[in-house]
């Protein structure tokens, strides 16, 4: 594979973290992936290991137990995880999606209460927006938080929640005023387990969902049936701010998905090159056929282009200049490309490409969801078009 251009935002400390993460994900975690896929989840012990290695909350300030880094650190971790073909670990969502809600919108007391334990891997984060009846149309959520004394009482159902089986800290997107649309939405942190690690009364986990790919990821249903949560767990302390908080944080979520997409393409191309140089047909390596060479040269060119777009977006984000519209287009374009290019790479494997024993099969199956989650690519284009 040709070396990619050096990312303009990449500093030495980012590169050092990338090297350490690459080694750890490949040497320590990759041998366990098959067992984790069979189990449908990664164990909580892996989360604590990630915490010890400094791979959780890398961009949270030191004073809250984090790595004191920036989004560049989260980006290199997501890239290396994707390149290690690990779609099970929800550490990116935990560190770069859940934790920022607490850092940017939570009170000082909330930050001190949750972030250090999240950085250690003791608390595992999830964000529960989607419901059986409301995905793209978030204003339509029906989960309700009813105020009762010093508590909120949560009732409703969530589905497709990343880290759903492992999570013990869930940001619940709910209505504190069910009569309102966006203005009635609030974000409430639910610590869903008691000190003994048992689900609190009023909370239960549903199925660990059976997916096309990402088998080691515990994507689940969650049920709230009268779960009492202290009123002080309302993020920001004022009701009705949830929708605005989501709109502020979603660009980073979408950028992170784009990072994983580009990492996945990179691994896919490596796999196609390795395989076609080994595999023989008609007395020569498959790599020798002009079709293979042209197609993979084209994948390489598109990978270089995708990486350049991604780097520009990361650079803008690090300067606080990435708007929601461009983040949406970067997400939709890179994930569409991911599916297209991984399909080419799979084709180059012939029948073996359809077998799960080849890494390309997993990469291909895992990629499909990237066009759906974090907001579907149709919604991404709609969002961008509004500002065009």
Ligand X SMILES: Cc1cc2nc3c(=O)[nH]c(=O)nc-3n(C[C@H](O)[C@H](O)[C@H](O)COP(=O)(O)OP(=O)(O)OC[C@H]3O[C@@H](n4cnc5c(N)ncnc54)[C@H](O)[C@@H]3O)c2cc1C
Q: Which stretches of the chain bind ligand X, using CB under 6 A?
A: 127-130, 135-136, 160-162, 211, 214, 219, 369, 372-373, 375-376, 378-379, 382
Residue 70, SS3?
A: coil
Q: What is the largest CA-CA distance in the chain?
A: 78
Q: How far is the CB of 218 from ligand X (least distance, A)?
A: 10
Question: For residues 160 and 203, which CB has a smaller minimum distance to ligand X in the complex?
Answer: 160
Q: Report the Cα 56 to chain-centroid distance in Å.
A: 13
Q: Closest-CB residue for ligand X?
A: 135
Q: Is 253 a catalytic residue?
A: yes
- Report the distance separating Cα 34 and Cα 29, nearest Å: 10
Question: For residues 261 and 273, which CB has a smaller minimum distance to ligand X in the complex?
Answer: 261
**DSSP secondary structure code for residue 187 in this structure:** E
Helices (H) and strands (E) in the chain, counts: 12, 9
- Report the distance separating Cα 283 and Cα 247, nearest Å: 57
Q: What are phi and psi of 225, to 5 degrees?
A: -135, 70
Q: What is each CA distance from 332 to 75, 95, 162, 248, 380, in whole angstroms?
A: 17, 22, 20, 18, 6
Q: How far is the CB of 94 from ligand X (least distance, A)?
A: 10
Q: How far is the CB of 143 from ligand X (least distance, A)?
A: 11
Name which of 63, 179, 174 is nearest 116 in CA terms: 63
Question: For residues 162 and 245, which CB has a smaller minimum distance to ligand X in the complex?
Answer: 162
- Report the distance separating Cα 175 and Cα 29, nearest Å: 39
Q: How far is the CB of 59 from ligand X (least distance, A)?
A: 19
Question: For residues 163 and 295, which CB has a smaller minimum distance to ligand X in the complex?
Answer: 163
Quote the radius of gyration of the chain (alpha carbons, Å): 21
Catalytic residue among 74, 249, 253, 271: 253
Question: For residues 207 and 284, which CB has a smaller minimum distance to ligand X in the complex?
Answer: 207
Q: How far is the CB of 271 from ligand X (least distance, A)?
A: 22
Q: Which residues have a catalytic role annotated?
A: 253
């Amino acid at each position: 594979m040709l070396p990619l251009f050096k990312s303009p935002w990449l500093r030495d400390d980012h590169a050092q973290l990338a090297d350490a993460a690459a080694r750890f994900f490949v040497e320590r975690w990759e041998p366990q992936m098959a067992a984790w896929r069979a189990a449908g989840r990664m164990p909580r012990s892996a989360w604590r290991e990630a915490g010890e290695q400094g791979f959780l909350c890398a961009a949270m300030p030191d004073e809250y137990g984090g790595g004191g880094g920036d989004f560049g650190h989260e980006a290199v971790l997501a890239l290396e995880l994707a390149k290690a073909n690990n779609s099970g670990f929800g550490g990116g969502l935990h560190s770069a999606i859940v934790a920022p809600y607490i850092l940017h919108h939570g009170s000082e007391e909330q930050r001190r209460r949750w972030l250090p334990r999240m950085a250690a891997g003791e608390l595992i984060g999830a964000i529960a927006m989607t419901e059986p009846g409301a995905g793209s149309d978030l204003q339509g959520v029906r989960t309700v938080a009813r105020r009762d004394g010093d508590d909120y009482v949560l009732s409703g159902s969530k589905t497709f929640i990343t880290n759903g089986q492992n999570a013990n800290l869930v940001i619940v997107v709910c209505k504190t005023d069910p009569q309102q649309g966006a203005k009635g939405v609030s974000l409430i942190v639910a610590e869903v387990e008691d000190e003994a690690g048992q689900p609190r009364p009023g909370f239960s986990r549903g199925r660990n969902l059976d997916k096309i790919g990402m088998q080691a990821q515990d994507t689940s249903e969650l049920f709230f049936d009268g779960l009492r949560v202290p009123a002080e767990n309302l993020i920001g302390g004022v009701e009705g701010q949830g929708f605005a908080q989501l709109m502020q944080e979603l660009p980073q979520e979408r950028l992170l998905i784009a990072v994983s997409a580009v990492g996945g393409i990179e691994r896919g191309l490596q796999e196609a090159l390795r395989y076609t140089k080994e595999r023989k047909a008609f007395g020569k390596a498959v790599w020798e056929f002009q079709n293979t060479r042209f197609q993979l040269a084209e994948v390489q060119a598109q990978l270089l282009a995708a990486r350049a777009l991604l780097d520009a977006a990361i650079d803008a984000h690090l300067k606080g200049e990435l708007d929601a519209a461009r983040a949406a287009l970067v997400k939709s374009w890179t994930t569409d490309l991911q599916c297209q290019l991984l399909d080419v790479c799979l084709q180059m494997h012939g029948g073996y490409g359809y077998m799960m024993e080849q890494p390309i099969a997993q990469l291909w199956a895992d990629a499909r969801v990237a066009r759906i989650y974090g907001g579907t690519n149709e919604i991404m284009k709609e969002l961008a078009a509004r500002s065009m």
